[in-house]
Amino acid sequence: MRNLFAIAVTAAFLSCAGCFGGSGQSMPPATALGPSTCAIGSDPGLPDNPTSTDFKLQAVPGANGLPSPMDLQAPAGDARLFVAEREGRICIVQNGVLLTTPFLDISARVTTGGEAGLISFAFDPNYASNGFVYVHFIDDVPPFGDIVVQRYTVSGNPNVLQTPGTQVIRIPHQDASNHYGGRVAFGPDGMLYLSTGDGGGGNNVFGHAQNAASHLGKMLRIDVSSLPYMIPGDNPMWPVVGRNENWAIGLRNPFRYAFDGAQLYIADVGQDQREEVDVVAASSPALNYGWSIMEGTQCFGAATCNMSGLTLPVYDYSHSDGCAIIGGYVYRGSVAALTGKYVFSDLCGQFVRTLSGTTVVTAQMVGVGTPLSFGKDGAGELYVLTQENRVLKFVAP
């Protein structure tokens, strides 16, 4: 099965059975630098600044070369770049200089087996006053492999988070070492959202995606204004009592999602045939995105299927173009040609594409490398993070 993060570009890559989709490929091991150290790794050895007609990608001083970069975020208006490494550190680049002391180092808590690692993080909308950061990782503390979101608070040093943090939510994930999702992020309503994969293996073998009693294969929505979290009163009421954290069901491995004003974009990785982008109103509850009844716009494993009640993607593509979609953001930065377009990529396609509205694909760029994620800074500018340890910023050509 195809793993989310890797393709076989060097002999150093691991192999994996039952991973992300169909090829038996996996992510290379995370680079260990030792405790409490942020440092640039080896030169990726790729051409700088790939360019399309609408934009180019520019290597970021101080960040380009960080090992296994998985996420990049910043509080609104903050000029620093916060870059998460898969092994369990969040590093800071300030004025083009990498700070050697991590913002956070939880590498002792994070497993990197299979598709695991530090997956994502989010600054609280009120970070300036409360100092809260929500970190989403796969736990290396028994029971191993659970999806965890932990809240940390900035210390007296604005460049360091206090440890230990406070657990927000733990989701059991014991069946396989793939399909963890996802992303943790705040919606326009101030609620915390978390996307999760279907528990791993292939073909929704564990049955989580269509099971409203499971938190796997879902979009969750919780209120973290106080901990332990609360379930918002306007969350959907599912037939199975006790799982009303679930905002939506029927996802396979949503990597990743993003809000743009009143809209929600979800990039959901397919099995062996189709990759999809779902675009819905952010305020729409109780949607069913169809997995494993459907894969993209096609019935899964059958010539026909009952599509009633399912939310179909606005765009999907076949594996002639790639193997695992990497979702980005709707661009709201300074490159005029990209404004309002949804930016995404693919693990195997090694391209950057934009979706204009909900139907038109434009401005394809190739030669990006192997993308792992997209990030967004405090000014709304976008970045692509690659398996070659590259952090590249979208700028005008």
Question: Cβ(372)–Cβ(385) under 8 Å?
Answer: yes
| Domains identified in the chain and CATH numbers | 66-324 (2.120.10.30)
- pLDDT at position 325: 95
Share of the chain above pLDDT 90, in %: 75
Calculate mean pLDDT across residues 231-246: 86
Residue 52 has pLDDT above 90, yes or no: no
Give the pLDDT band of residue 51 (cuts 50, 70, 90): confident
Query: For residues 308 and 331, what is the distance between their CA atoms, to the nearest angstrom?
Result: 33
Per the prediction, the chain carries an average pLDDT of 88
Show the tokens assigned to 317: 């593509």
Quote the CA–CA distance of 382 and 369 in Å, as a whole number. 16
Model pTM score: 0.91
330 contacts 262 by C-beta, under 8 angstroms: no
pLDDT over 60 at 259, yes or no: yes
Q: Provide the pairing of β-strand 274-281 with 192-195.
A: unpaired
CB count, 10 Å around CB of 32?
A: 11
Given a cut of 50, whether residue 9 has pLDDT beyond it is no
Quick one: 309 exposed, middle or buried, by C-beta within 10 A (0-12, 13-18, 19+)? exposed
pLDDT at 2: 40
Confidence (pLDDT) at 21: 42
Give pLDDT, residue 46. 60
Collapsing DSSP to helix, strand or coil, 143 comes out as: coil
Q: How many residues does the chain have?
A: 397
Q: pLDDT band at residue 82, thresholds of 50, 70 and 90?
A: very high
